[in-house]
A and B are shown apart, each in its own frame.
Chain A
Amino acid sequence: MIPSWDILKRRSQIIHTLRAGFEARGYTEVQTPVLGRHGAFDPHLHSIEVPIAGQAHYLQTSPEYALKQVLAAHGQRIFQIGPVFRGGDIGPKHQPEFTMAEWYAPGLELPLLMDEMVNLIRELPFVPQAFSEPVKHFQYRELMIEHAGVDPEGVDDAALKRCLDQYSIESNHLGDLADSQWRSDVLDFLFSSEVQPHLTGICTVTGFPKSQAALAEIDDASGLSLRTELFFSGLELINGYQELRDTDELERRWAEANAARAARGLPQLALDEGLKAAMADMPPSAGAAMGVDRLVLCLLDLKRLDQAMVLPWV
């Protein structure tokens, strides 16, 4: 399927203005390999494996590992807009190949990085009125208590299991594995089913549990991850971290992810030594990624990603 010329023109204008917005804020665009030596170890991401000369390579699920190496080498504001791949993700708001914008700002705190992007989006063409309203800021824990009736900090695994058994939707995809990943998956299932539909307009959610830190730092005071997501009309648009720089912690999370992978019958992934070395060298930074096709969807008031993509998966 090919979108109308009008949609393709507008999409081009949006991405052109987005690039100009990054450049105006001192970011330089870099290009990293689409096909990398390492896959993302997060057990929820399916890196598509491509063997080259008998060696495994992976279509990148985001340019994160490579951009962090550029960040460590130069300590400059950098961004990339390009294709990323996530095997098995096909739905109205998911495509196995999509366009991602990812950017890093050394020396910046995460809340300021998010503000900066909201201001940039407000400069884009076709931006709907709802984007100019003040951004609402929510705490993950408060949202979970209010809408899902679960205190993610207080509830123990047994209580969480009971809550799930009584829930109106039978959750057969979660299984019975009571490991740390199971707990995180249950909380995330409740968040997507019960909280996300309430996130109207433009808002951020912060204070995700430690188990959902990915490569974000943990806040010493609260023990929560320094991860913020921006939602527009309940759709996750941006995911930002105060970047983890502790290589011991990286190895611990990698080992835990591989254990969860093993328990779920997923392949083990080697640790990217280049990423590990970069983490030790990179300056304190905030970084974020945004789904560009989703952004186009929000600005053009479309319903499905395939409406804004050339030859999408349907």
Chain B
Amino acid sequence: MATYSTNEFKSGMKVLLEGDPCSIVENEFVKPGKGQAFNRVRLKNLKTGRVWERTFKSGETLEAADVMEHDMEYVYTDGEYWHFMKTDGSYEQIAADKDAVSDAMQWLKEQGECTVTLWNDVPIQVVAPNFVDLEIVETDPGVRGDTATGGTKPATLTTGAVVKVPLFINIGETIRVDTRTGEYQGRSKA
């Protein structure tokens, strides 16, 4: 496997650190006038999502991590694993565990697209699209005509996710949700 030296570090580069795959967020060379030169690097641990800042001796090397992002289609879950299929024409299926699926779980719709990050061909992270359209299966009855007061109520979606929606929204309607914030965006256009 290739290695990268601190002077090759750039954002987006995938490296192995303490056995975990990490993505470099930011890299800065610092040479204080009277001290040891170093690189101040912000990294994101791709398994835990934790972002942290640490320094490296200038010239230190890290091993490259075999990390690839794939567009995939969510197929189903058997309760223990979530199954995805590559959309590159290979129809290859892979199974991701609960840790990898994590927060994306509540936004996955069968036949829906998502991005799966593979490390040495094992899924470590699943990211839902920024916006998903999901149907409401449970909420208090809608209040007719109330489109202006700005009040909200909880609504449960087909995936089990609960989002706050305006009072006039009813069961059976399909709404658009921003998966990064979990916020209601509006009724689906389709």
How many Å from the CB of B101 to the closest CB on chain A? 29
Contacts of A185 in B (CB 8 A): 35-36
From 36 to 93 in chain A, residues with beta carbon under 8 angstroms from any chain B beta carbon are 44, 88-92
Q: Closest CB of chain B to A288's CB: distance in Å?
A: 12
Which 6 residue pairs spanning A and B have beta carbons closest together? A91-B29, A188-B35, A170-B54, A173-B38, A192-B32, A173-B57
Q: Which residues of B21-56 are within 8 A (CB) of A?
A: 28-40, 52-56
Q: Using a CB-CB cutoff of 8 Å, which residues 196-253 of chain A contact chain B? A: 208, 212, 214, 229, 236, 239
A4 contacts B by Cβ under 8 Å? no
Give min CB distance, A194 to chain B, whole Å. 12
Q: Is the CB of A173 within 8 A of B56?
A: yes
A166: Cβ under 8 A from any B Cβ: no
Given the known interface contacts A88-B58, A88-B59, A168-B53, the answer about A173 and B36 at a Cβ–Cβ threshold of 8 Å is: yes
The reply to whether the CB of B152 lies closer than 8 angstroms to some CB of chain A is no
5 A–B contacts, CB within 8 A, in A order: A90-B29, A168-B53, A173-B58, A173-B60, A187-B35
Q: Which residues of A contact B (CB under 8 A)?
A: 44, 88-92, 94, 168-174, 184-185, 187-189, 191-193, 208, 212, 214, 229, 236, 239
- What residues of A have a CB within 8 angstroms of the CB of B7 in the complex? 90
Whether the Cβ atoms of A169 and B53 lie closer than 8 Å is yes
User: Least Cβ distance of A97 to chain B in Å?
Assistant: 14
| B31 neighbours in A (Cβ, 8 Å) | 44, 89, 91, 94
What are the residues of chain B within 8 A of A184 when measuring CB–CB?
34-35
**Cβ contacts under 8 Å, A168 to chain B:** 53
Q: How far is the CB of B51 from chain A (nearest CB, A)?
A: 12
Chain A residues near B54 (CB-CB < 8 A): 169-172
A184–B36 Cα distance when bound, in Å, is: 9
| Chain B residue, CB-CB nearest to A181 | B36
Partner of B37, one of A44, A169, A212: A44
Asked if A188 contacts B56 (CB within 8 A), the reply is no
Q: In the complex, given contacts A88-B58, A89-B31, what are 14 additional A-B residue pairs having Cβ atoms less than 8 angstroms apart?
A: A44-B31, A44-B34, A88-B37, A90-B29, A171-B55, A172-B55, A173-B38, A173-B55, A173-B58, A184-B34, A191-B32, A192-B35, A208-B34, A239-B33
Partner of B36, one of A44, A90, A92, A170: A44
Chain A residues, CB < 8 A from B32? 188-189, 191-192
Which residue of chain B has its CB nearest to the CB of A196? Answer: B32
Cα distance A89–B59 in the bound complex, in angstroms: 10
B28 touches A91 (CB 8 A): yes
Is the Cβ of A189 less than 8 Å from the Cβ of B34? no
Convert B73-106 into 0s and 1s, putting 1 for each residue whose CB lies closer than 8 angstroms to a CB of A: 0000000000000000000000000000000000
Which residues of chain B are within 8 angstroms of A90 by Cβ–Cβ distance? 7, 29
Q: Judging by beta carbons under 8 Å apart, are B59 and A189 in contact?
A: no
Give the residues in chain A near B58, CB-CB below 8 Å: 88, 173
Smallest beta-carbon distance B11→chain A, Å: 14
Q: How far is the CA of A191 from the CA of B30 in the complex (A)?
A: 12
Provide the residues of chain B in CB contact with A91, threshold 8 Å: 28-31
A185 nearest CB across to chain B (Å): 5
Complex contacts, B57 vs chain A, CB 8 Å: 172-173
Flag if A169 contacts B34 (CB, 8 Å): no
Task: Please determine whether B55 and A169 come into contact, CB atoms closer than 8 angstroms.
Answer: yes
Closest residue of chain A to B38, judged by CB? Answer: A173
- CB neighbours (8 Å) of B28 from chain A are 91-92
A174→B34 contact, CB < 8 A: no
The reply to whether B29 and A44 contact each other, CB–CB distance below 8 Å, is no
